[in-house]
A and B are shown apart, each in its own frame.
Chain A
Amino acid sequence: MRFTFIMAFVATAVGCGKTPPASFRLNMVQATKTAAPESGMEKPWSSWANDRQKQVATILEAMYGTPDAPVALAETGLDLAKLQLAAGPVRSDIVGRKNGLYREHCAHCHGISGDGMGPTAAFLNPYPRDYRPGKYKFKSTWRDARPARDDLTRVLHDGVPGSSMPSFALLPPAKVDALVEYVRYLSMRGETELALYTYAEQELGVDDTMPTTKEFLVDEILTPIVEKWQGAEEARIPIAAVPTTLDFTKPGDDPANHESVARGRALFHGDGGCVKCHGVTALGDGQANDYDDWNKVIVEWGKEVAGGLGASQDDAGRAAWLHAATDVIEGDALRPRPIPPRNLRLGLYRGGRRPIDLYRRLYTGINGAPMPGVGPSGPGGKGSVADAEIWHIVNYIRSLPYEFDGELGADRPMVAKDRL
């Protein structure tokens, strides 16, 4: 017994089996995609690109720290105490409180860097969310706005039905709070990285290095990102009063709802445009070969790279870039998957099943997904369906799982018993 203990001690002391400290991975897809070679480069492309990646990594570490030691710049408004509770390896602090919550609960799917590429990610459908672009689907804010804190809290509390995201309702609120803060931190970090690549692609010449002044990094790059996150609490969409011709406490086939459901059906097939993707049957069998924004980047860039490899390659820099791009698409991204429109006859709604949840999905559409909004795109705008009328579509959608399939008429899809 004592011998084993000593051996274990020796093993730790010499570093045998010791894991290296966790580190953030660069967004290699964006780092490579935005670093297409230009004519007149003196260095070989790979060492030129490597230099730029090092500059970005150094800047990011200075602004955000490491997975074990996060940094919260005052300008971000992030709460360092919360981040420290969530960051780092799973461990107990001096009062016996568990730390390292992100790695305990989230990292295996969402990845250390919040890139949605944890070890289990490839086996999940849908893939875990990649926080880095700062886009979230299920929220109460305008489509382009960031989610409010309570939107993220709700997703953690309820999970995402129909996906692999479980509910964390058993965690005490303080821990959920810390995780929400850490997700915001990973998003801000990811958005900062993206903004640096975009800046380099659009502004920097071949021989320029990334500026490292406070004016540039904080005022020009960080501030617009932070403003979006801080503005989220005030960016809620308006919620129209529920029309009196509609009663959500009663089922869709109740006479009290007949008129409303009929109106919802008319909008579903008409100005709402829902049938275009969800299909006449509402089984999600309309336009079904589209991708969400996260996957689309890979698909479109993949096509460009494949096309480039097919063309003549007399330029060494370009050839090096194309091969690096191929490696990145295969090794640093998950294989893209199309996003099928939701089958509305299952009664399973990823963003929540309450009427208000469906209202929000319809009003702004789903950020990052192809689903467009039927409400206005911003305050004061005009949507394709009046705000109050959206409630009728909600009512109709809620009635769909209970609609007799005889009501589908000629649109009824063929099932096994029809063929016999």
Chain B
Amino acid sequence: MTRLPPLSIAAVILATLFLGDIVAADEWGTIKGKFVFGGAPPSAGELKVDKDPEVCGKHKLLAEELVVGADKGIANVVVFVRDKDVKVNPEAAKAAAAKVTLDNKDCRFDPHVAFVQVGQDLVVKNSDTVGHNSNIATVKNPPSNNLIPAGGETAIKFTSDEAVPAQVTCNIHPWMKGWLVVRPNPYGAVSKADGTFEIKDVPVGEVELQFWHEKAGYLGEMTIGGKAEKASKGRKKVAVAAGGTDLGEILLAPAVFQK
């Protein structure tokens, strides 16, 4: 057995110390919360379906720019971790291998707000019996506008993240509007119909979240756990605990959406 020179021994010791550090930080927590509308739930207006009425007219299409459930939960609020250098949990990273589907279904975009990671496959498909086009207005990624015939699909990959969600529209059916969140990591969520969201496996410690909603833009004023907070550009620093961090009810005043 050869003797290691003293420098290598030092390096090994240092490396061990360093690795030890990483292991200690390898703790992950889930951030969750629920967006609640601070007023009487607004009723969604019916959309004017004046193109392809024989197909699209069959569905009662409602405006989706502000969707508030019966229990006042707000759907489609976007939350993501803003830190660019955030460490990614290996389990959470696996999500990027799955395909994200954005469907043109019943003459609306399903889901209304889609979340996709950089490098992940986005399949834009058309389950309707009429042709659609999906005009994706990304800023940092090349914008695209492809015609997708009935039953057809196309795949897109993104090379850069988008600072704000990109709008998706269909020029053939002007009422169709959707959004696409493009993030560099899996740490983002879109609130569900009941207003809840969950971002899993975030490294323990402090992260900066950003809150966005299509009608309100950046959420600058929120009442979190009964405490009114101002968040410039919808940014808020949150401490992630090993057991998870529950932001509880995030109350949004109706005025926030009056834009």
Contact = CB atoms under 8 A, between A and B. Distances in A.
A and B: real partners?
yes
A259 interface: no
Contact of A40 (B51, B130, B230): B230
Given A38-B232, A378-B142, A372 B133 contact: yes
Contacts of A36: 217
A372 B152 contact: no
Interface stretch (A58-66, A175-183, A269-277): A269-277
Contact of A365 (B145, B220, B221): B145
Contacts of B230: 39-40
A270 B131 CA distance: 8
B171 interface: yes
A336 to B, nearest CB: 14
Interface residue range, chain B? 20 to 34
A377 B259 contact: no
Contacts of B156: 377
Given A290-B171, A377-B154, A377-B156, A304 B259 contact: yes
A307 B259 contact: yes
A381 B145 contact: no
Interface string B14-55: 000000000000000000000000000000000000010000
Contacts of B255: 312
Interface string A41-65: 0000000000000000000000000
Given A40-B232, A273-B133, A290-B174, A384 B148 contact: yes
Binding site of A, secondary structure by majority: helix, strand, loop or mixed? loop
Given A205-B233, A311-B258, A383 B146 contact: yes
A374 interface: yes
* Chain A interface bracket (under 10, 10 to 19, 20 to 34, 35 or more): 35 or more
Interface string A177-214: 00000000000000000000010001101100000000
B175 to A, nearest CB: 12
B145 A373 contact: yes
B147 A289 contact: no
Nearest to B172: A276
Contacts of B147: 272-273, 365, 372-374, 384
Contacts of A370: 133, 135, 145, 171
A143 B152 contact: no
B112 to A, nearest CB: 18
Interface in B129-143: 130-131, 133, 135, 139, 142-143
B149 A270 contact: yes
A289 B51 CA distance: 11
Contacts of B148: 384
Nearest to A362: B147
B122 to A, nearest CB: 11
A353 interface: no
Interface in B99-143: 130-131, 133, 135, 139, 142-143
A198 B162 CA distance: 12
A38 B233 contact: yes
Interface string B216-227: 010011000000
A247 B188 CA distance: 54
Contacts of B144: 143-144, 377-378
B12 interface: no
A287 interface: yes
Nearest to B143: A144
B171 A372 contact: yes
B155 interface: yes
Nearest to A322: B259
A277 B154 CA distance: 21
B163 interface: yes
A35 B62 CA distance: 31
A382 to B, nearest CB: 6
A413 interface: no
A144 B130 CA distance: 26
Contacts of A376: 146, 154
Contacts of B67: none
B164 interface: yes
Contacts of A381: 154-155
B171 A277 contact: yes
A308 interface: yes
B164 A202 contact: yes
23 contacts: A144-B143, A198-B139, A202-B233, A206-B232, A272-B149, A273-B131, A273-B147, A277-B171, A290-B171, A304-B259, A308-B259, A312-B255, A370-B135, A370-B145, A372-B133, A372-B145, A372-B147, A372-B171, A373-B147, A377-B142, A377-B145, A377-B154, A384-B149
Given A270-B149, A271-B149, 15 more contacts: A38-B220, A40-B232, A143-B144, A203-B163, A205-B232, A271-B152, A272-B147, A290-B171, A308-B258, A372-B145, A373-B146, A382-B155, A383-B146, A383-B154, A384-B149
